[in-house]
Structure 1
């Protein structure tokens, strides 16, 4: 069971995330996902939206491997090399999450990522039912 507290009393408005999320079950930690294809090749370094969509595709694959879905997400942490890319990342996020409740989130600007040319990396925590 997951409960999303999008805007608790006294906290400011959000843009696609919840201020707090409560979960009960088995914790699933997803390592930072990079904008790479199945072979590990970087996708279009010139297009933040293409990269963000690939990161969410990879995140979805990792969730699925753990028996989880986007609706099971508790938290996303975004690492961007350029904060100007936030609009494209939000577009990809909204496509990925569609009609599910928004997880808690943090955004960090970084000087670079482990893969040269990568503009975005996202890690996640999810909660699935106990067995």
Structure 2
């Protein structure tokens, strides 16, 4: 059984719950509802992690439930690994760090976006998504 939590983005689900307890979280970015992206890389990372946490919360999960996180960064050689780690650590507690990958990419879906984060989490015990469509 697969349960999909809707997204504001056409054609995708923010989170898909797979029978057995996995939550597959679509790529989250800093792109706001008014199509704004922060110019500051630190602020963009922060907003992308906030979007990830919001998507998890919509599925009844917390950052501590993350099993894997993949961060895609456009122009990675120009970005500071220390900045990426510092922002990640503001959102994910040191005691619950998931398996991770950091991947440099040539482009993302929108030329203003420099960071996209997708994830896999474990659904909390008793998980029952509200307002989901099977």
Query: TM-score if structure 1 supplies the norm length?
Result: 0.73
Deviation, structure 1 residue 103: 0.3
List alignment gaps of at least 5 residues for structure 2.
1-19, 127-134
Cα 1:68/1:40, change in 2 over 3 Å: farther
Alpha-carbon distance in 1 for matches of 2:92, 2:102: 17
Alignment of 1:1-131 (within 5 A): 26-37=21-32, 39-44=33-38, 46-83=39-76, 84-85=78-79, 86-131=81-126
Alpha carbons 2:60, 2:124 under 8 Å: kept: no
Q: How many residues align?
A: 105
2:14 alignment counterpart = none
* Secondary structure at the counterpart of residue 108 of structure 1: strand
- Structure 1 residues without counterparts, runs of 5 or longer: 1-24
